[in-house]
Copies of this chain bind each other. A is one copy, B any other.
Amino acid sequence: MARKQGSHADITGPKVRDAALRLFARHGFAAVSMRQIAAEVGVQAGALYLYTPDKQTLLFDLMRDHLEDLLASWQVPEGSAVDQLEAFCRHHIRYHLDRPELVFIAYMELRNLEPENFAVIEALRRQYEDRLEMILRAGQAARSFDLPDSKLAALAIIAMLTGVNTWYREGGRLARGDIEAIYWDMVRKAVAA
C-alpha cells in the first residue's frame, strides 16, 4: 500500500531531514537508528534510502547546508570595525538562537563524520572564523581594538557567543534583544583599546 494520498517526494524528503535533525539533536547521531527516523516520518526504514544514500550523508548534508547558510546569511557591512563587530555579534546570536538544533549538531557530531566530510565542514567553519578575525585585525590596525592575538580573540568571541545556546530557553527571563545587548557589551569591552 504505497503512494497514499498526498505523500510525495516533495513532502517526504524534507520530513526525513526534519526528523533526522530533531532526533540527532536530541539523542545524538550514533544513538539514533534509521528505523527511529522512519517511524518519525511515518514510513518504513527502506523508504529513507530514496532520499539519502546512507545515514552518514544525512548527517553531513545537515551540517554542510547549515554552515553554507550561515556564511550566506551575513556579509561584512560598511562602517567602522566596531560597527562591523557589533553587527557580527548580534547576527551570530540571532542566527544561532533561531536554529538551536542545527547549531548543536554542527558542534557535537563532528567526530561522527568520515574524514573527507569532516574536512569540508572544518573548512566552512574556518571561513566563518576568518571573517571575524578580519574584522578584528582591521580594528586593531585602526587602533580601535587592542588584542594580544586576533586569532584567539576570534575563537574566544565565537565560543562565548555560541554559549548562549546552552542556556537560552524560549520565554525566559530575557528577550533576545537584551541578550544581544549584554553579550555585545562584554565583547566590546573585551576587545577595546
Contacts and interface: CB of A to CB of B under 8 A. Distances in A.
A174 B187 CA distance: 22
A155 B167 contact: yes
Contacts of A31: 30, 112
A148 B190 CA distance: 15
Interface of A is mostly: helix
B28 A111 contact: yes
Q: Report the copy number of this chain in the oligomer.
A: 2
Range of interface residues on chain A? 20 to 34
A152 interface: yes
Interface in A113-135: none
Contacts of A163: 155-156, 158-160
Given A31-B112, A152-B174, A159-B163, 10 more contacts: A30-B31, A152-B183, A153-B182, A153-B186, A155-B166, A156-B160, A156-B183, A160-B163, A189-B190, A189-B191
